[in-house]
Amino acid sequence: MRWALTFGLLGLTGLLGLGIFEIWPRPCFPDPDEIALAWGVENSVAAIVLGQRLWDTILEVLVYVLAMVGVRFFLAGLRWQTKLPPVAETPFFRRSADLLFGPILVFAIYVAASGHIGPGGGFPAGVIVGSGLLLLALAKGTEQLAAELYEPKLEGLEYAAVLATLVLGALVLIFGLRSATAFVAGNILIALEVAIGAWAVLHRFAAARGEV
C-alpha cells in the first residue's frame, strides 16, 4: 500500500512537471477572445464550449444521458416491501418551497439564456433547476413530487431535448451555422437535459433508499 502510494505520488508529480515545463505535447490553442469574435458571441467560454469544441459538449451530453438511462434501467426493478410513512414537514416550509421554486426557475432560465453574453450556460442552469426540484422534494416528499411531475412525460421531453441537441449540433458542425440564437437554443436544451436527468437519477436513488 505504502509503495503504491509513493509511486502514485511520484507519478503525479512527474506528470505535473511534464505539464508545467511543456514537455507534455500540448495542442496549440488560439486566443480565447479571437474564438469569441469568430463565433459572434461575447462570452469566450460559451464560444469554446458550444462552438470551437462542440464535439466535446455533444459527447458529454451523450455520456450524461447514458448514465441516466443506465440508472433508470437498473433501478427500475427494485421494489421495497415496507412503505415508508410520508415525511411530515411544516406547512410553512412547504409553502416557502413552493414560493421559492418560481424565482429559482426564472433565475435558471436567465442563466441559460444569457450564457452567450456573460457567465452562465446550460449546465449550471440545469443544476439550479435540479436543486429547486430537490428543495420541493425535501418539502413534499420524493414520491409526492414524482407523482406531480409525471415522470414518463419528463422522460419523453428529455429524449426530445437530446435529439434536438444533436440536430442543432449537426447544423453547426455540418452546415456551419454561426449565430447567437444557436447558442441560446443549445444552452436551454442542455439545461433541460441536465435538470431532468438530475431529478430522474436522484429520484431513483431516493426511491431505492441508497440500498443498491
Partner 1 sequence: MTTVVLSALAFGLALFALTQRRLLWGVLGVGAHSLALAGLYLSLSAPDVALTEAAVGFGLVTMIYLLAIRRTGKLVVAACPIYPLLYQEGDRIAGLEWEILEGFARWCHLDLEVLWVSRQEIFELLRAGEAHLGAGGFLPNSESRVRFTRPILPTKLVHVRCQDGPAGVVAGEPGEALVPHPIVAYEDAEELAQALDRGEVGQAVVDLLRYREWQLKRAIPDASFTVLPEERWYSFAVAPGEEELWASLEKFLEELQARGELGELVRRYLG
The minimum distance between CB 4 and partner 1, in angstroms, equals: 25
Q: Which helix (H) or strand (E) holds 87?
A: none
Stretches 25-33, 53-61, 71-79, 123-131: which one binds partner 1 (CB under 8 A)? 123-131
Binds partner 1 by CB under 8 A, chosen from 45, 69, 149, 185 = 45
The minimum distance between CB 6 and partner 1, in angstroms, equals: 25
Under the binding rule (CB under 8 A), the answer on residue 202 touching partner 1 is yes
Question: In the chain, what is the greatest distance between 2 CA atoms, to the nearest angstrom?
Answer: 62
- Count residues near partner 1 (CB under 8 A): 31
Place of cell 449565430: 179
Report whether 192 contacts 161 (CB < 8 A): yes
- Give the start-end residues of each E strand in 132-203: none
Tell which positions 53-82 bind partner 1, by CB under 8 A: 80-82
Under the binding rule (CB under 8 A), the answer on residue 111 touching partner 1 is yes
Cα R_g (the chain), whole angstroms: 21
Under the binding rule (CB under 8 A), the answer on residue 131 touching partner 1 is yes
Tell me whether residue 54 or residue 166 sits nearer to partner 1 (CB atom).
Answer: 54
Report whether 125 contacts 191 (CB < 8 A): yes
Under the binding rule (CB under 8 A), the answer on residue 206 touching partner 1 is yes
Under the binding rule (CB under 8 A), the answer on residue 112 touching partner 1 is no
Under the binding rule (CB under 8 A), the answer on residue 51 touching partner 1 is no
The string of DSSP codes covering 114-142 is TTTTSS--HHHHHHHHHHHHHHHHHHH-H
**CA 105 – CA 116 distance, rounded (Å):** 19
Output the nine-digit C-alpha cell for 126: 440545469
Output the nine-digit C-alpha cell for 58: 455533444
Under the binding rule (CB under 8 A), the answer on residue 35 touching partner 1 is no
Report whether 169 contacts 101 (CB < 8 A): no
The minimum distance between CB 42 and partner 1, in angstroms, equals: 12
Q: Which residues are at the interface with partner 1 (CB under 8 A)?
A: 43, 45, 80-82, 84-85, 87, 111, 118-121, 123-125, 127-128, 130-131, 134-135, 137-138, 142, 198, 202, 206, 209-211
